[in-house]
């Protein structure tokens, strides 16, 4: 919901309903979503809150996730005081009394993980958040936070796509499998580059995705999502389209099947080199 913006509540509701109709149940937002769209801090959460206010039944049909810890001009604050205030502010903007998954958006190097964990434990105990996750954290940073939490970390949210391969080798996906954490892959189309290739490298990756898409009668985007989902950590692509028609195509991602040779061909083309 990074680009979930505007003042048209019926149009916003239509996007939510299109996703639900397509079988999407996880809605991932953040308090920082707004300024990138020329809107105030918290605008995306506030718009979703207005949708809930007009159609209260929608709230109970989804797993609601949000994030906090990015502060304009700071840039990061995971102190206990700030995290507690950020969680309360998100609840107020969304107009809900509980968030299923609350994630620290980016790691704050000036906060001891025990301090951040204390605020998250308090919110969890109070019933404000049902589960705790991390976004843009290394495996070591996640492990340090997990050491001080009374409940397991539920999720990682890394950038992961056929163009952003870091989680495959930096330990994040390995940790997710070892600790049974969900993986929410943001920017699964490489920041839109896979949809609109602008150089030979991306064209080469897109060409392999097109072969798979053509073989199964789906879009290139669906092939890109399915490539991510083929990993045994079972990553969940965070689809960012705001077009109801394209939202309706999301289930196409469940169709393609990858052989090992095909999957590794995409990987090696993206790497620009052969694996040893």
* Residues 114/150, Cβ–Cβ less than 8 Å: no
Residue identified by tokens 């080469």 is 204
Quote the crossing angle between the two packed helices 43-54 and 9-21, to the nearest 10°.
80
Q: What would the two tokens of residue 9 be?
A: 């509540």
List 237's β-bridge partners, or say none: 185
Q: Does residue 33 have an active-site annotation?
A: yes
CA-to-CA distance for 6 and 139, rounded, in angstroms?
36
CA-to-CA distance for 195 and 259, rounded, in angstroms?
23
* Residues 252/239, Cβ–Cβ less than 8 Å: no
230: nearest Cα among 250, 254, 251, 252: 254
Of 33, 76, 82, 225, which residue is the catalytic one?
Answer: 33
3-class SS at 53?
Answer: helix
Q: What would the two tokens of residue 112 be?
A: 């001891």
Active site residues: 33
């Amino acid at each position: 919901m990074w680009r979930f913006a505007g003042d048209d509540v019926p149009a916003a509701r239509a996007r939510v309903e299109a996703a639900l109709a397509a079988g999407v149940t996880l809605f991932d937002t953040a308090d920082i979503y707004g300024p990138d769209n020329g809107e105030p801090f918290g605008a995306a959460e506030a718009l979703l809150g207005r949708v809930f206010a007009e159609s209260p039944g929608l709230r109970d049909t989804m797993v609601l996730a949000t994030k906090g810890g990015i502060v304009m001009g700071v840039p990061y604050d995971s102190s206990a005081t700030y995290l507690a205030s950020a969680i309360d502010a998100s609840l107020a903007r969304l107009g809900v009394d509980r968030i299923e998954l609350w994630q620290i958006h980016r790691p704050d190097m000036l906060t001891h993980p025990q301090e951040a964990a204390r605020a998250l434990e308090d919110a969890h105990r109070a019933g404000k958040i049902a589960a705790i996750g991390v976004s843009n954290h290394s495996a070591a940073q996640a492990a340090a936070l997990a050491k001080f939490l009374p409940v397991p970390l539920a999720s990682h949210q890394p950038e992961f796509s056929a163009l952003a391969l870091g989680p495959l080798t930096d330990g994040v996906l390995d940790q997710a499998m070892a600790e049974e954490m969900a993986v929410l892959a943001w920017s699964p189309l490489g920041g839109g580059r896979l949809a609109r290739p602008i150089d030979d490298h991306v064209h080469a990756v897109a060409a392999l995705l097109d072969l798979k898409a053509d073989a199964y009668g789906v879009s290139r985007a669906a092939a890109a999502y399915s490539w991510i989902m083929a990993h045994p950590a079972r990553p969940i692509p965070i689809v960012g389209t705001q077009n109801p028609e394209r939202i309706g195509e999301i289930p196409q991602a469940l169709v393609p099947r990858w052989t090992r040779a095909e999957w590794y061909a995409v990987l090696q083309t993206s790497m620009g080199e052969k694996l040893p």
